[in-house]
Structure 1
Amino acid sequence: MSYDDPRLAAIYDIDNPDGPDHDFFRRVADEHGAADIIDLGCGTGILTVTLTGLGRAVTGIDPAPAMLDQARNRPGGDKVTWVQGTSEQIAPGSADLVVMSGNVAMHILHEQWQTTLENIAKSLRPAGILVFDSRNPESRAWQNWNDELGERDTPVGRLRESLATDPPDEDGVVVMHCHNEFDDGTVLDEDQRLQFRSHAQIVQDIAAAGLAVEETYSDWYKQPFRGGPGQPLMVFLAKRP
């Protein structure tokens, strides 16, 4: 979903709260002593603001203005530099760490994915780190992404919503048809596209951008990824030589 609508941005944190994934990214920042951090696809900044600290400069980048409005106005938002845009906005040689959380990598489709990796590689200083998560296509998660019309209370009022998902096309792109009905009678139908890539494909793409995968984990506690449908999550840690 684009989350360009302020109402969808306002409920994003409810559906995507702070948790073990954010703990993992914070640990990576600490362990690698990152001073300059880019949170690419930062959304509402729920993780971004927690990456700030003494001696750190943190930048959150996102293409959706409504999401950035939420980010700027959250507690700690004044400690982050917020930028509307994509990886093209990252200055070369400006980062010790680039983070893409919450399946951001899967939202970057087709040739733009390789362009993004190349931009990130240029932005990283020597020994700089890229860390992100993606879903293992062998687990076929999309088969569970179909929900009949339901209702719930949200900060923007009563929301009626449903979800229907198409299986992946030949490029691994899954389309999620999201239906939202708000209390004022507004209906918002959007299609969200996620591209599933195999572990081998992602490793190859990262190498083509000039980075090297150092670790792939199967969870947020650094258990190694071995492949197969029993490991639905892939967490990549790549380094610039």
Structure 2
Amino acid sequence: MLIAAKLEQVSKRIADACERAHRHPSEINVIAVTKYVALTRAQEALDNGIVHLGENRWQDAKEKWEQLPLSSAVSSDKPIWHFIGSLQSNKAKDVVGKFDYIHSLDRLSLAKAIDKQAEQLDIVVPCFIQVNVSQELTKQGIMEGQVYDFLNELKNYRHIKPIGLMTMAPFEVEPEATRPVFRKLRQWRDDIQNRSDGTSSITELSMGMSNDFEVAIEEGATWIRLGTILVGEKEE
């Protein structure tokens, strides 16, 4: 199926989820996860009006980043790059300055590496703090009890701007089973905002993928990361 048809179906499901949650579809940002597909498929996504592209590893993103138009604050027809995978501290130099957002900030050593590279480039990097809400050993992210200490430590890194929280729910046959995970992340975001009297920069929620994005939207997601359902299966 062409991406245009997939996007039409996804947009309808987003609209229906928003209606159930009394939200507007404009509140939802869709990231097309292009990590498994070729350059031509990523280009097709851009041609259909998708501006946010997500990648897990620089070595997989490199060809697309070099050959597709670069992101621009004044041009909505160019890609905005999101790094959504686990990031090793020694790989921060490959990512900072190329990706507009990092969704997987989960430790101070990584914050230090991001900040150092961003300082050299004289930029500020918008980051999502990854929280392991499900407490799965196979998942990355800080534990819930570490959230406020981590936020306080991030104040020491002037070239990082924490803008939201990110989590990955367990894969469930029934998407409804993921609801407690997404709800908990939203509650954390809301609690951070309440404690700061609404002044905290933590406003966004990056949660929900192909299997569970509708539940995530109902629970407050502002960014959803869609791969298979939008750009297709892994290409050999």
Which of the five TM-score ranges fits, normalised by the shorter chain?
A: 0.3 to 0.5
Q: Going by fraction, where is strand more abundant, 1 or 2?
A: 1
Q: Going by fraction, where is helix more abundant, 1 or 2?
A: 2
Name the structure, 1 or 2, with higher relative contact order (CA <8 Å, separation 6+).
Answer: 2
How high is the TM-score relative to the length of structure 1?
A: 0.33
